[in-house]
Amino acid sequence: MLTIGLFPNIKKESVSSVLGWMVQYFKDRGVRVLLTENAAQKMGYPDLACSKEMMLKEITMGITLGGDGTLLNTAREIAAAGIPICGINMGQLGFLTEVELPDLSPALDKLICGEYEIEERVMLDAMILRKDTTIHVSTALNDVVISKSGVSRMIKLKLYVDDELTANYAADGLILATATGSTGYSLSAGGPIINPKLEVFVLTPICPHTLHAKSLVVSEKEEIKVRMVSNQDDAVLTIDGQAVYHLLPDDIVLVKSAPFRAQFIKCNGRSYYETLRSKLWRGEVDTNF
């Protein structure tokens, strides 16, 4: 039996009506629907409540209702279980989400009938090493960012690629992004746009205090190590712009490809470049130019 896990952003006011419509839509078609316990309680569907642990065992696919942030958060929770994910855009840009609200009904029909493709996306494993001890491990779909917290002076970092010293940075921070995340913070900091089919990472310094520091693209098979060399103790590690962890001098942030990949459901027929044009560049290409 097809079982769909719904992951709504319960902080969005408009989510309630869309969620109610989707729950009824799936029930009318004999599709089982589950919600996390917190979402079920907040949104008024106690009969659909399921623990996160059981959710990973029961659902066939996950559908998010929100923006890119909701999709990123959910992907980190379900990707390791090999569960495909589809995003319904209820945010502003929604670059990573697959379905816009006007297309919701036909898109759900495709999901029910299995008329979709799966696109795999590389994910990152990020570890904080302190005095040769791993004190934290996180998974990221978009990016891992080392930056100063609050108002402070620049931080100093040593970058190693496969244990080889590659660069010394004096900057406001460093972004380590997947190809998926290349259109996020890394792009704003001057990094390149990378097609997510390419199995690479991009390292982009934030406001470097030198003219020659540029983005660096490396293979996903390479291991990235960043050592904190500043004396200050106000640097932080941010995962997908959501989870934040405090860093101390001499801490090492180790980043490598995760042993699993996020599985994005593709059903709208748009290519990556069409998405760039329609959502990111917000302009039509003049074919007569």
CATH number at residue 144: 2.60.200.30
Is 289 contained in some domain? no
Q: Would the pLDDT of 285 be above 80?
A: no
Strand partners, 34: 5
Residue listed under structure tokens 């495709």: 110
Claim to verify: residue 239 and residue 127 sit in the same structural domain: yes
pLDDT the model gives residue 283: 46
Is 286 contained in some domain? no
Is 147 contained in some domain? yes
Q: How many domains does the chain have?
A: 2
Q: Would the pLDDT of 256 be above 60?
A: yes
Q: What pLDDT digit, counting tens, does each position of 84-128 carry?
A: 999 999 977 788 999 999 999 999 999 999 999 999 999 999 999
Name the pTM for this structure: 0.90
Is 287 contained in some domain? no
Which residues have a catalytic role annotated?
68
Q: What pLDDT digit, counting tens, does each position of 138-150 carry?
A: 999 999 999 987 6
Is 238 contained in some domain? yes
Claim to verify: residue 110 and residue 170 sit in the same structural domain: no
Q: What is the token pair recorded at 83?
A: 């569960």
Residue 259 to residues 56, 80, 81, 122, 256: CA-CA distances in angstroms?
17, 8, 11, 9, 9
Claim to verify: residue 82 and residue 181 sit in the same structural domain: no
Claim to verify: residue 132 and residue 250 sit in the same structural domain: yes
Is 183 contained in some domain? yes
Nearest to 88 by CA among 136, 26, 38, 32: 26
Q: In whole angstroms, what is the distance from residue 195 CA to residue 152 CA?
A: 35
Residue 239 to residues 37, 121, 141, 236, 289: CA-CA distances in angstroms?
24, 16, 9, 10, 41
Claim to verify: residue 159 and residue 96 sit in the same structural domain: no
Q: What pLDDT digit, counting tens, does each position of 40-69 carry?
A: 999 999 999 999 999 999 999 999 999 999
Claim to verify: residue 238 and residue 164 sit in the same structural domain: yes
Claim to verify: residue 68 and residue 178 sit in the same structural domain: no
Is 57 contained in some domain? yes
Distant-in-sequence, close-in-space partners of 8: CB < 8 Å, separation ≥ 6: 15, 19, 35, 39, 43, 64, 65, 66, 70
Claim to verify: residue 152 and residue 80 sit in the same structural domain: no
Q: In whole angstroms, what is the distance from residue 42 CA to residue 35 CA?
A: 10
CATH number at residue 13: 3.40.50.10330
Angle at 129 between CA 145 and CA 146, to 5 degrees: 15
pLDDT the model gives residue 151: 67
Claim to verify: residue 103 and residue 128 sit in the same structural domain: no
Claim to verify: residue 217 and residue 94 sit in the same structural domain: no
Q: In whole angstroms, what is the distance from residue 100 CA to residue 39 CA?
A: 22
**Average pLDDT in the 256-263 region?**
97
Q: In whole angstroms, what is the distance from residue 241 CA to residue 283 CA?
A: 27
Q: Which amino acid is at 206?
A: I
Q: Would the pLDDT of 188 be above 90?
A: yes
Is 58 contained in some domain? yes
Claim to verify: residue 219 and residue 241 sit in the same structural domain: yes
Residue listed under structure tokens 């693209």: 217
Angle at 262 between CA 117 and CA 17, to 5 degrees: 75
Structural domain of 26: 3-116+267-280
Q: Characterize the bridge pairing of strands 32-36 and 3-8.
A: parallel
